[in-house]
Structure 1
């Protein structure tokens, strides 16, 4: 099963330059490809629908070739959903670590 490191997601309460607002999840996101260490900064609105784990824990993101298979084998924090027409995401907890799994068409 292929897994490729993508980024580290870091919750922040700081207003970050270059952040883009994702209205559906009420979150400001600094894309990981905009900085040298592939850090994705996330600043959440108070009424974000995302779970506390995402708002408080650092996560590690991997691209996987079979999202459904990976989700089955782990504790799901956020069920699979389409971030855009080509990318499906899910968040799992494995060995106490929050992980984002991405399947890209």
Structure 2
């Protein structure tokens, strides 16, 4: 099996340029394809329905 790195998601409480709002999840994300290392910043609304694990931990 060959595995490939796709992107890294990092939660933040700060605003960031180019944020894309995802109303279903009540979160803002950056375009991971627009960065050299495929980093996706994620900022969550206070009433975001996702689990705390998703809202507080980075992932790859």
User: Which residue number corresponds to residue 58 of structure 1?
Assistant: 58
What runs of 5+ residues in structure 2 fail to find an aligned partner? none
1:46 and 2:46 correspond: yes
The number of equivalent residue pairs is 60
After superposition, residues 13-24 of structure 1 pair within 5 angstroms as: 13-24=13-24
Higher relative contact order structure (alpha carbons within 8 Å, sequence separation ≥ 6):
2
What runs of 5+ residues in structure 1 fail to find an aligned partner? 61-105
Q: Distance in 2 between matches of 1:8 and 1:45?
A: 20
Query: Secondary structure of 1:6's match?
Result: coil
CA RMSD of aligned residues (A): 0.9
The alpha-carbon deviation at position 36 of structure 1 amounts to 1.2
TM-score w.r.t. structure 2 length? 0.92
Q: Which runs of 4+ in 1 moved over 6 A?
A: none
Question: Where is the strand percentage greater, Structure 1 or Structure 2?
Answer: 1
